[in-house]
Amino acid sequence: MGPVPPYVVVGLVVLAGVALFLAGSLGTALLRPHAPTADKLTTYESGVDPVGEGWAQANVRYYLYAYLYVVFAVDAMYLLPWATVLRLPGFGWRTLAEMGIFLGVLGVGLAYAWRRGVLRWL
């Protein structure tokens, strides 16, 4: 038998994961107690009756965390596969320039954050 095609390996790993999950769920379903009471089904609030809803509004100023996350993490996600293929034959200065344009756009965003002062650690 020759080398196994890589996507077959991926498929087998996914199947093994699903099978493991199902086996675990089935095992606990066969073993666990099922004993609901009215009190047990109430929402937890430190032993007292729960008041209000579960939803609360977050202040919009926290958008900066999401913004910086996009600038840095999405950036890294595109840089990593690019770095593995850059040195191969067929990729050259043009590849570098394309990534440079992408980094330039991200740099504008980073400059905005810098000017707003959110990168300063007080």
d(CA 26, CA 33): 13
d(CA 94, CA 69): 28
**Cβ closer to other proteins: 49 or 53?**
49
Q: Which is nearer to other proteins, 33 or 117 (CB)?
A: 33
Q: List the interface residues with other proteins, window 23-42 (CB under 8 A).
A: 27-40, 42
The answer to whether 37 and 30 are in contact (CB under 8 A) is no
CB 19 within 8 A of CB 25: no
Please give the size of the binding site for other proteins, defined by CB under 8 A.
19
Give the x-and-dash track for 44-83 against other proteins (CB under 8 A): x-xxx-----------------------------------
Query: Helix 75-85 and helix 93-116: axis angle, to 10°?
Result: 160
The residue ranges that bind other proteins (CB under 8 A) are 27-40, 42, 44, 46-48
